[in-house]
Structure 1
């Protein structure tokens, strides 16, 4: 067993807080191994074995998975043919035998040529993906996420305190990387605990709607997740555990809200005014500010006439009242987005009556394993094959790079608009409509309301394993599509004049994603407030920096949200890394600040807007929360991880002003 100092060294060497130096030895016979292989995802297993053996000769080009484009469901084994699969199983069995017979239980950093061979095999030779994938690969010597410099070596005795705002997914990533670089920082978090959206959202049924292994940090690649789509409490436990392992909790000031930022041009510092739980205000100076405030954090509840008259219980999905017992009660849920999709099936069997107010139906992708635990075969492979879970995570990343972008790319002049945007999009619509028809076969009245009237992918698509349809078909569920006229003392009156008496109303009405920094006053150079600069249209270079606001960095800012491709954590980490590269430039050059040039922002926004105009959500007949008050798509990233990796790889001197 390695001692604690050795464990820390290994963690740093591989840049993974969950690094496991050794697997358990394989002792099972060939028949057992064959059974395991029959249940494995073959490209993952072949890559893991080749890495552990340090030999990629078995990864012949004729075994390479074609990575067939995914329309609705991932293709097993990346689209390998039946013949490829049979030959791959033989190669895998020979490899597992070699691991067993030679007692191989560990894997080390791989030579560059081996990494290239493995990535070529997994990507079908897409070289332009390699850089972004190495960022996720512990075994690549040039993984590149961790800072390759230290504050003490470049600061020359200079003070450079940094303020990080928020202790959710983004804030924890920022704090970890800034600590690795030795940059002094504090984190202020409005809530009394860390975890961001996962601490705030505790409603019944809350869980990921993306596969678990794609929802983790490159520097914290947990392998023992219990569910295919992690439950909310598991994600929260993970986030808190990452913060503990990173040693950043002591840097967090909880129950502390940032109210105001003002750039002091003379001092070249940000004056930050915060307020603690007791209402005490404090103003402190920081050389730089990293805003890690989330997009989906500020609840949106539409104005409803008469709501003050209602005598029952009301709550937003993010502010779930666990004191309100819904068992045997009459419950209304307003909304059919991601939260409602999880809440409704979780409540349906326990309430006396469920009334669902639907404005638009959701598109759902089939996911039969949505509520399943990880398989026994996967658990065995994770325990026995070195680094298997991390190769599985990389495989999820590989498949997520193109994602389903091809299904939501619009064709100019497509005659199927506004119900679809292209031939492929129409094919997806037909498949998903057919699945809905089967689920609601005995309820044609519900089917008429279950098929969305907009193109697939124009709004966020959910995961379907049948429980949504079951909940809507329940004898004590009523689906109301008439709209809400007003509230009464005892319930909700729809636009047809029907009163629905309920004891509890749940607002699953979403958030205000386009209102960046809505509750913070940010005053930059020349006294310009950032919301006045934006005028309701939030824009940031690379989604990170805004002209006139030096040393101010947005993490997961405007236009970097991936909805059919990519990775939340990847985008967050790259923004954090870009901010640190900017800090390095400041310190190394001996200047006070860095500010992005307006022309650079304009060029970036033009590029983003051109990409979004090609997508389903960017069509003029589509209206979603991806758009801001001006109708511009300000939330969504229309490209892949590979492009974001490229534009955040270096701080362009020509795009920035360095302030003495």
Structure 2
């Protein structure tokens, strides 16, 4: 039975709004629409459950890097069990929010989107699903898919593989896949890798970590809340005070891009912190310490947070291989030095195709323009929300909006989109488009600021293939909240 059979009222159209994605940002969009009195919308979700990232990322040890109180919706407090929630608790939270706001009644599950197409004459969008079904027309589309959703798979592992053991990317972890008693090879050393390495060292027979390049590491200080803390957290003033204090800390840290600006006060402070943590954890292991020391500034790549990774590397069960894997055999892998490593299981913690925004489907705008062509030198949009030649299309977690706290950004973007959609639904306009001059000025200023950050030092997923920084937000979250207000008043034109 397909999604259309389950939700016949949602299939086809017409409908006011299409929301693509049912993760954090898609739920934020749905709630924002309901708060604006807009109830005729359809959420397209390619997975079999609501939850987005936290439905697909269910590998052992998966948990959020941000504190639970700030990595959650401002309008939905929750009785968190840990300072940093794991994937199962986050998934339960998101699905609970969706049920409370009845978003499940608006959602087509198992319905991936293949093409989103604009009509120059009707001023509406149509959607072609992955199974070929046509949906629409829609007055507006809200893309809530982000950019960390297409796994990067090494070329030698694409298609059929000769490896006879288990192999899996962290974002496509299969139910029933286990680490117990196995020699596990982990490809990568980013945020997902450090979590899976910890679990593999705990449960497996042996672990080999294949490191192309090291990353700076900071302690996460994650723990369970005590029963007394949980009782206090259920008291809303205490809950929101905790959340507000976390927000202020992140806001101060990112003011003027101090955390990432060359010579920034916060950046200098964090450099001392990562150096001290490396010395504390690996000072007695000088060979390991040198292998783990990056040759770039802190924050130049995403700084990893973990309380357990260094300890897992010190274990006699773990071997750090300071080379990339270049080939696979029936019984293992071959590293860049030509050495063969026998493995029972390969875990790909190789990240995502982050340079390809909205890369899971095609978007065809005015005069048949393909969004991928427009963004061939790197994605750009006004506050990551709207881009020229694609009217009535709004984005959540769009270009240059990767800032902390993420959910605060999602909520601001959802409010912007819902306010613009309201103009269309109420008949006050048929087209909402970005003002080109405002868009171009904003992006010039943005790139000037980004050019003064440590993000320019080394290649990373922050960059497009052209070298342009397309993911990062170089100002504070408060600056972003103010900016989305200004964009609503001055940056778009409704006609």
TM-score computed with the length of structure 1 as normaliser: 0.69
2:481 is aligned to 645
Distance 1:580 1:460, change over 3 A: same
- How many angstroms does 1:434 deviate by? 2.8
Residue deviations 1:372-425, cap 9 Å, x none? 111344234335x552112111111111112254243114xxxxxxxxxx6764
Instruction: Assess, with a 3 A threshold, how the Cα gap between structure 1 residues 352 and 549 changes in structure 2: closer, same or farther.
Output: same
- How far apart, in 1, do the equivalents of 2:163 and 2:236 lie? 59
**What's the counterpart of residue 64 of structure 1?**
none
Structure 1 position 488, deviation (Å):
1.8
1:654 is displaced (CA, Å) by 5.1
Asked which structure has the greater RCO (Cα within 8 Å, sep 6+), the reply is 2
What does residue 165 of structure 1 align with? 20
- Shift in Å, 1:653: 5.8
Number of corresponding residues: 478
C-alpha contact (below 8 Å) 1:581/1:651 kept by paired residues? no
User: Tell me, which stretches of 5 or more residues in structure 2 are unaligned?
Assistant: 1-13
Separation of aligned partners in 2, 1:298 and 1:476: 32
C-alpha distance in structure 1 between counterparts of 2:291 and 2:111, whole Å: 45
Q: Which residue of 2 aligns with 1:291?
A: 143
Q: Is the 8 A contact 2:146 2:358 kept in 1?
A: no
Determine if contact 1:202/1:318 at 8 Å carries over to the other structure: yes
CA contact (8 A) 2:200 2:206 kept: no
Q: Structure 1 regions of 5+ residues with no counterpart?
A: 1-158, 412-421
Q: What does residue 628 of structure 1 align with?
A: 464
Within-5 A mapping of 1:22-421: 161-183=16-38, 184-222=40-78, 224-275=79-130, 279=131, 281-304=133-156, 308-367=161-220, 369-370=221-222, 372-383=223-234, 387-403=237-253, 405-411=257-263
Change in Cα spacing, 1:205 to 1:592, as seen in structure 2 (3 Å) is same
Question: Take 2:46 and 2:472, find their aligned partners in 1: how far apart are those partners?
Answer: 26
CA contact (8 A) 1:582 1:651 kept: no
Deviation of residue 524 (structure 1)?
A: 0.8
Provide the secondary structure at the position in 2 that maps to 1:401. helix
Equivalent residue runs for 1:539-618 within 5 Å: 539-562=380-403, 566-586=404-424, 590-617=428-455
2:301 is aligned, of 452, 456, 459, to: 459
Secondary structure of 1:583 counterpart: helix
In the alignment, the residues of structure 2 paired with residue 160 and residue 599 of structure 1 have an alpha-carbon distance, to the nearest angstrom, of 32
Q: 2:288 aligns with which of 446, 452, 458?
A: 446
How far is 1:652 from its partner? 5.0
Quick check: which has more Rg, 1 or 2?
1
Aligned: 1:503 with 2:359: no
How far 1:433 sits from its partner (Å)? 1.9
> Following TM superposition, by how much is the alpha carbon of 1:456 offset from its aligned partner in structure 2, in angstroms?
0.6
Secondary structure at the counterpart of residue 250 of structure 1: helix
